[in-house]
Structure 1
């Protein structure tokens, strides 16, 4: 009798300059790293994408948001189960939620830890 094949490991990506986010399978600390991380997963289903708005200094999540928006605009949105926004910056977080919701990504606010 064959053993059932194991469930695939979910793809959980996170972009955050401070939090550890232990559930994440990959973690980027800057927007540049975040863009690169998403580009590497452009044709792979992402179960969860965790985004922090403020990434230290003048860096923010907005270059990542732009990448997601442009992909959707050109008809090739990233395949993401849920985007979680967990920023301590309420205005920045709401901007991300509105922008990505407009492009039909499933977005949820998550409590900051």
Structure 2
């Protein structure tokens, strides 16, 4: 069964096997899957209030910088915030994560 993780404050993401609603929960979710393969990771930029996906992106960048990137088949960025979504796509692509914009 594929592992499909989502980090989104509102969307139900029906294909996701696990969903985090905040960046803090998202970091915990990724750390729980640190040593396993994640088929898909769905990211929303704005997570309610002042919370964004950027702490999760930073975690992923730091993992790649240290030579141990998360093993993720494809990262999908779905956000109503086009500037925020493009920021995430560029940041992750720079570290060789397979990433693209999508609609959830």
- Shorter chain as denominator, the TM-score bin is over 0.9
Normalising by structure 2, what TM-score?
0.99
Which residue of structure 2 lines up, in the alignment, with residue 3 of structure 1?
Answer: none
Query: Which aligned runs of 4 or more in structure 1 are off by greater than 2 angstroms?
Result: none
Cα distance between partner residues in 2 of 1:85 and 1:108: 6
Q: CA deviation at 1:111?
A: 2.0
Give unpaired runs (5+ residues) of structure 1.
1-8
CA RMSD of aligned residues (A): 0.6
Cα distance between partner residues in 2 of 1:43 and 1:109: 25
1:109 aligns with 2:101: yes
1:29 aligns with 2:43: no
Of the two, which has the highest radius of gyration?
A: 1
Give unpaired runs (5+ residues) of structure 2.
none
Q: How many pairs align?
A: 104
Cα distance between partner residues in 2 of 1:97 and 1:23: 21
Q: 1:44 aligns with which of 28, 36, 51?
A: 36
Normalising by structure 1, what TM-score?
0.91
